[in-house]
Amino acid sequence: MGGRSHFEEHFLPHLDAAYNLARWIVGTDQDAQGVVQEAYLRAMQGLEGFRGGKGRAWLMTIVRNTAYSWIRKNHNVSTKSRAETPPK
Amino acid sequence: MNCDEADRLMDAYLDGVLELTRQIEIERHLSRCHACQSLAQQCQEFRSFFSANAPTYKAPPELRARILAMVPDEKVKRVRFWREPWVYATAAAAVVLLTLCVALTILFPDNGKEFSSVAVLDHSRSLAANHLVDVASADLGVVRPWLTAKLDFSPPVVDLPGSGYLLVGGRIDVIRNRPVAAVVYEQKGDLVTLFCWPVNRDLVSNGNYLIQGYHVCTWSNAQCNYIAVSKLDSRELDQFADLFRDHLQSNPY
């Protein structure tokens, strides 16, 4: 597991969905791009821990968490939501 | 499952990303709890409304490009290559192969080069001392008996008609304290000395060498060891060796 082909196969197809989700949460294109990029970086670093299965859900969770962290850091607002809770 | 847990897992449930056991638990809870059931319905309605009305965005191409550029390429593979099972298989195979080579070298030493060095010395000495042959004749009927009489075996001396190689003659030489036949052939001024002696203790391994500017080709068959030495290039010398072997095969000596 790992490597370029694996990443391209499992995570790149969800880029639009990831961007869409980030855009809904953070609002602007610039911010959404930053969030998605950071989320993909985290996903890559955590790729070793990913053991197949629902790659999309795993990635979306990372995007969501990254987006909320981003909002907390940049706007200093409290965000409490069910969506923050990891699915598992 | 209680209502708090159901509430916490609701989004994941509606996303369809719950583990199977959790999914069954929440469904069982929903079938019994009206409050959670209506919460689930509200959430579902909101989701439908949201996906119908919220704008959808596509990732801009520059974002896609940036992310592709981030993807670890071969570098990561190289750094972590030792995690791949084939590395261990290859290493094991290499160790086995190395052991085998060492064992073979000990059991069957590559003696071709040692013999060749002596043969080259003999060949060059014969040229320097202007003592090319003891018996100068292009006639098999002269050279063969002469050599046989001086040696304890009858060396294969052959004609190679049509090949351009002419028999010059023969002499007796010594390789590793053993008298051997040295038969000299000539092709357009280039000399080939073919050393030959019976296989008894040593079997000369097959090989091609370049020693002190001379090309050397060594081989052996069931009867004799052979070392051909010449200034000819290695391809021509190989051709000579092939001619010689073919001739012996079709005209058993």
DSSP summary character for residue B82: G
Task: Please report the beta strands in chain B, taking only residues with DSSP state E, as ranges in sequence order.
Answer: 135-136, 166-175, 178-187, 190-198, 207-211, 214-220, 224-230
B239 and B158: one domain?
Answer: yes
| B89 and B130, same domain (yes or no) | no
Same domain, B161 and B216: yes
Angle between helices B61-70 and A29-45 (to 10 degrees): 20
Closest residue on chain A to B19 (Cα): A88
In a domain, B170, yes or no: yes
pTM beyond 0.95: the answer is no
List of chain B residues whose C-beta atoms are within 8 Å of the C-beta of residue A64:
none
Taking the C-alpha atoms of residue B222 and residue B79, their distance in angstroms, rounded to an integer, is 53
CB contact under 8 A, B68 and A12: yes
> Is the residue at B61 inside a domain?
no
Interface predicted TM-score of the whole assembly (ipTM), two decimals: 0.77
> Taking the domains of chain A in order of start, what are their residue ranges?
4-84
To test the contact with chain A by mutation, choose from B13, B17, B66, B75 the residue with the greatest count of A C-beta atoms within 10 A, namely B17
CATH dotted code for A4-84: 1.10.1740
Gyration radius of chain A over CA positions: 13
Residues B179, B138 share a domain: yes
| Alpha carbon separation from A16 to A46, A56, B31, B57, B164 (Å, rounded) | 20, 11, 36, 7, 78
Whether residues B235 and B162 fall in one domain: yes
Whether B58 is covered by a domain: the verdict is no
Residue B64 lies in a domain: no
Number of domains in chain B: 3
Domain range spanning residue B90? 69-107
Q: Among partner residues A7, A15, A83, which is closest to B59 by beta-carbon distance?
A: A15
Q: What is the pLDDT tens value at each position of chain B, 253 positions in all? A: 889 999 999 988 988 888 888 899 999 999 999 999 999 999 999 989 988 888 889 999 999 888 888 876 654 455 566 667 778 888 889 999 999 888 877 776 667 888 888 888 888 888 887 788 888 888 888 898 999 988 888 888 888 888 889 999 999 988 888 889 999 999 988 899 999 999 877 788 888 999 888 999 999 888 899 999 999 988 999 999 999 998 888 877 6
Task: Return all residues near A46 (Cβ < 8 A) that are at least 6 apart.
Answer: A62
From A70's Cα to the closest Cα of chain B, the distance in A is 18
| Structural domain contains residue B30 | yes
B65 CB-near residues (< 8 Å, 6+ apart)? none
Q: Indicate whether B129 and B101 sit together in one domain.
A: no
CA distance B16 to chain A (A): 9
Question: CB-CB: which of A18, A33, A87 is closest to B12?
Answer: A87
